[in-house]
Amino acid sequence: MSIKARTPPSKLYSIQSCIGRGNFGDVYKAMDRTTQEIVAIKVVNLEHSDEDIELLAQEIFFLAELKSPLITNYITTMLEDVSMWIVMEYCGGGSCSDLLKRNYVNGLPEEKVSFIIHQVTLGLKYLHEQRKIHRDIKAANILLNEEGMVKLGDFGVSGHIRSTMKRDTFVGTPYWMAPEVVCCEVDGYNEKADIWSLGITTYELLKGLPPLSKYDPMKVMTNLPKRKPPKLKGSFSDAAKEFVAGCLVKAPADRPSAYDLLSFEFIRNVTITNLKSDVELIKQKKVQERYTKIPKYPLQNRLYKNSNTLRGKDFWNFESTRITAIQTSKSELSPITQDSPVSSLNMESPYLHGQTVTPITNPNSSSFRKCNKPVFELDSGMDIDSGCPHLQTEIEMITPSNHNKKHKKNDIQALKIEKFDYLENIVSHILNRMYDRARDDETRKYVDEMLKQFIKTEANVPGFNEVFIEEISLRIEAIRKGFV
Amino acid sequence: MFKKYKNQDLDMAFWWKKNPKTPSDYARLIVEQLNKFSSPSLTQDNKRKVQEECTKYLIGTKHFIVGDTEPHPTPEAIDELYTAIHRADVFHELLLHFVDLEFEARRECMLIFSICLGYSKDNKFVTVDYLVSQPKTISLMLRTAEVALQQKGCQDIFLTVGNMIIECIKYEQLCRIILKDPQLWKFFEFAKLGNFEISTESLQILSAAFTTHPKLVSKEFFCNENNIIRFIKCINKLMAHGSYVTKRQSTKLLASLIVIRSNNSLMNIFINSPENLKLIMTLMTDKSKNLQLEAFNVFKVMVANPRKSKPVFDILVKNRDKLLTYFKTFGLDSQDSTFLDEREFIIQEIDSLPRIISSTTDNTNNNVSSNNLNSPSSVINNPSTLLTHSTTPDSR
């Protein structure tokens, strides 16, 4: 690849499907158009990330220095619009967390755990030799490729990000955190933190859940330094118990290194060479479930739609010769055009311009039923990019003045509306957000069922979702205007 | 590539046991192998052999230096290794042949380098002191980044050298050498390249060089007016024509530099040029909110300046109403109280600019209003109140 060419990654890779999503970025399966190689691309929207670009870049470039069959390797990073495309090796077999969820709810058989943990320990040994800490070892981050080989994934970038993130987003990981990570500063721990997490992960793989998982994660985290290390109990081999106890030593200095762990009995005699059959099984199940995800930031939503990005000269008055007269009357001030970045600043996310395009993942959903009165505002109630989970704020965004302004745009809206998919862009979107916000699996299950119900209904009653949303918006409108 | 990793899984300690060596042998053997790259009779097969040898020796050196070998090396042996590395100018030699090395070898080289930089004995960073006494190594490092760009797979090489440079910048004495090297300007050029990794890494290097040791930078770099003018020219190009990321990073770098009190001369030269103001105002209307914010952080200094140059003042006056309209919506959703205070202050400042009252484009009217503008200091009649405010350029 040339160093000068600014070929956008979307020209180099063809996106196939969204395979993961998160606050930090959506992950896509894609194909390199020239080599036909399948890759995973993590798309990080920089305009909507609080992270420092410098920090992100530093972490990513550190990844560039790692290459090993034991980890998901970094390929390259590119810029598309305002998103960073981090291209990584693709692991088609999913994660060990999928394995637990789909094949072994009560834990994997010991010989499989021993194989996985052996590979992970080798991977950690490699990482630690490169003076790198993973920071986020857990079943969900242990990936499997199509051949059923184990690879450490999602490290560096996400690890760093998560450790500096705000509390609500980092709730997912406390069960695996080492005591010294909880009580010290980010710089206050070393690679031994990974060893603790490895112990917890071994426990997780054997039993299906990490220790203390029935308690509130924040409480688990705060109590961790005071508590005795968790113990693996039950009908497991002494070797497994010894290994877990070996990792879960509270003082980091007394914890064995990855190198030391390799001589533990539990992973010294591995009988399996891959998990291919399990990977096949997961794949089948995923196909049956029509496993797809809807990205948080659809790729079509671009900030810069044409090359003309600097519009200052049109907006400001930079004439150098003479000061031009400015009208005093407000109404005669040179009007700011509707599509000016300034006028739209806080009213709508710039990303919504592309919202009408159907997201990649679900091309079969029902299409828009023709309607000649676009009664409600498309872009007011669904500020997908605000990242604010509080319903109240979202409602506040539909202020009356905002409303009037938008109304003038109805002609344009009407044109755009043609292809608008209510099921995908509103209902699925909302339920996906709710899924993310759900505290427990039970709630998630209900949300999931609800989504399925909507999909099913739309298939039988086309336009159901549209009318449903229309009614909701009419009602909210009425309530807001005090007609109740 | 794949096969090599498997080789690497071999227990290196075992390999070294079979080849017992004194610490200084590591340095000697690496340099010996590196010299073979220069041999005119080097065939492709031989080259691969030499590359593999280099990788092996470098991995061995790393294990030794971090004490991973069995038996653990004594502190004396480690000291001896450092001395040998310095005496044989190992880093200089490695950089000379950097593009000839394998990926792993370059990475090991970078790891050993950063370990060496951090190594101190009797409260002295021995490798840092060595590099100060032998500045040719740093100079070569900066040039190697450029050489890397001519190579196949250049990003890998560039990133590795880049990380070594960033490691150096952490140490003030080494940062001084880098700031004095004219090669540093080249990184502004690299930052404009289309390759995301190279442009971003180049800006990382520039940001690190100009912000890690602020006193050094203001005393020894921005003390020179030629440097200031050239710096502004270079960074303006990045802000105007860079990619989205380049624009954001370069604007941020500029904003962080001009608010530093000791960078007064940089600030004064920058904020008094109408061209710079136009650029910054243009960035403020970019579609990216983040870029708007970064640009605002420069703009606020220009507006808060109690002694604006006439051309700058004129532009602000001409755009008074447009600016007020702009600020009606700009940054409203921010939660940052410092920012909101600054925003409020800037709005007041703009509001207090003279208003051009004229209903026609009549020339006489224009002249009247222009007359008003000729004495900007009369408009801002109390600069001292400005100085106490948090957004004034001098207060940070």
Domain boundaries, chain A: 10-89, 96-287, 365-484
Per-residue model confidence as pLDDT tens digits over B201-217: 999 999 999 999 999 99
Helix (H, G, I), strand (E, B) or coil at A420: coil
Residue B320 φ/ψ, nearest 5 degrees: -50, -55
Residue B1 binned pLDDT confidence (cut-offs 50, 70, 90): very low
Say which residue, B324 or B360, is predicted with more confidence.
Answer: B324
Hunting for tokens 């490729």 — which residue is that? A145
Was A192 annotated as part of a binding site?
no
Residue B42 φ/ψ, nearest 5 degrees: -70, 115
- For B333, the closest chain A residue by CA position comes to A346
Q: Which of B156, B333, B358 sits opposite A325 (nearest CB)?
A: B358
Find how far residue B245's CA is from the centre of its chain: 14
CB of A5 within 8 Å of a chain B CB? The answer is: yes
The pLDDT, as a whole number, for residue A366 is 35
Predicted TM-score of the model (pTM): 0.72
Residue A381 φ/ψ, nearest 5 degrees: -85, -10
Measure the CA angle with vertex A249, ends A243 and A255; round to 5°. 80
What architecture is the A96-287 domain classified under in CATH?
A: Orthogonal Bundle (1.10)
Element spanning B92, H or E: helix B90-96
Q: Find out whether B262 and B217 touch, Cβ atoms under 8 Å.
A: no
Say which residue, A424 or B344, is predicted with more confidence.
Answer: B344
The pLDDT, as a whole number, for residue A221 is 79
Hunting for tokens 């996985």 — which residue is that? A116
Q: Which two tokens stand for residue A430?
A: 């909302």
Tell me which residues of chain A, numbers 82 to 121, contact chain B at a CB-CB cutoff of 8 Å.
82, 84
Q: Do A324 and B318 touch (CB under 8 A)?
A: yes
Q: Do A328 and B359 touch (CB under 8 A)?
A: yes
Decide which of 1.20.810.10, 3.30.200.20, 3.40.50.620, 3.30.70.270 is the CATH code for A10-89.
Answer: 3.30.200.20
CB pairs under 8 A between A and B: 178
Q: Measured between CA atoms, how close is B390 to chain A, in angstroms?
A: 24
The pLDDT, as a whole number, for residue A368 is 33
Whether B13 shows a pLDDT value over 60: the answer reads no
Chosen from A53, A307, A321, A402 to mutate, greatest number of chain B CBs within 10 A: A53
Closest among B151, B158, B210 to B179, alpha carbons compared:
B210
| Residue A136 among the catalytic residues | yes
**Would you kindly state where each structural domain of chain B is located, as residue ranges?**
1-133
Q: Rounded to an integer, what distance in angstroms lies between the CA atom of residue B295 and that of residue B210?
A: 19
Contacts B201 to A, Cβ<8 Å: 57, 61
The pLDDT, as a whole number, for residue A25 is 78
CB of A77 within 8 Å of a chain B CB? The answer is: yes
Per-residue model confidence as pLDDT tens digits over B110-150: 999 999 999 998 889 999 999 999 999 999 999 999 999 98
Contacts B103 to A, Cβ<8 Å: 67
Whether B188 shows a pLDDT value over 90: the answer reads yes
Hunting for tokens 């020894």 — which residue is that? B220
Tens-level pLDDT at each residue, chain A (484 residues) = 556 666 788 889 999 888 877 657 788 999 999 999 999 998 988 988 777 888 788 778 877 888 899 999 999 999 988 999 999 999 888 889 889 988 898 999 999 999 999 999 999 999 888 878 888 889 988 999 989 999 998 764 444 433 333 333 343 467 888 877 766 555 567 788 899 999 999 999 999 999 988 888 778 877 888 889 999 999 999 999 999 999 999 888 899 999 999 999 999 989 989 999 888 888 887 777 666 677 777 777 778 875 554 456 678 888 764 444 333 333 333 333 333 333 333 333 333 333 333 333 333 333 333 333 333 333 333 333 333 333 333 333 333 344 444 444 444 444 344 457 788 878 888 888 888 888 888 888 888 888 888 888 888 888 888 888 888 888 888 887 766 5
Q: Rounded to an integer, what distance in angstroms lies between the CA atom of residue A322 and that of residue B157?
A: 53
- CATH number belonging to domain B1-133: 1.25.10.10
Whether B65 shows a pLDDT value over 60: the answer reads yes
Q: Do A316 and B278 touch (CB under 8 A)?
A: yes
Q: Which two tokens stand for residue A325?
A: 């007269």
Residue A85 φ/ψ, nearest 5 degrees: -105, 105
Of A440-444, B256-260, B356-360, minimum mean pLDDT range: B356-360
Q: Find out whether A293 and A424 touch, Cβ atoms under 8 Å.
A: no
- Fill in the DSSP letter of residue A71: B
Which residues have a Cβ under 8 Å from the Cβ of A124 and sit 6 or more positions away?
A134, A137, A152, A191, A194, A195, A198, A258
Per-residue model confidence as pLDDT tens digits over B145-173: 999 998 877 888 999 999 999 999 999 99
Q: Measured between CA atoms, how close is A311 to chain B, in angstroms?
A: 6
Q: Which of B196, B278, B357 sits opposite A78 (nearest CB)?
A: B196
Which residues have a Cβ under 8 Å from the Cβ of B226 and sit 6 or more positions away?
none
Which residues have a Cβ under 8 Å from the Cβ of B293 and sit 6 or more positions away?
B331, B339
Q: What is the mean pLDDT of residues B334-359?
A: 88
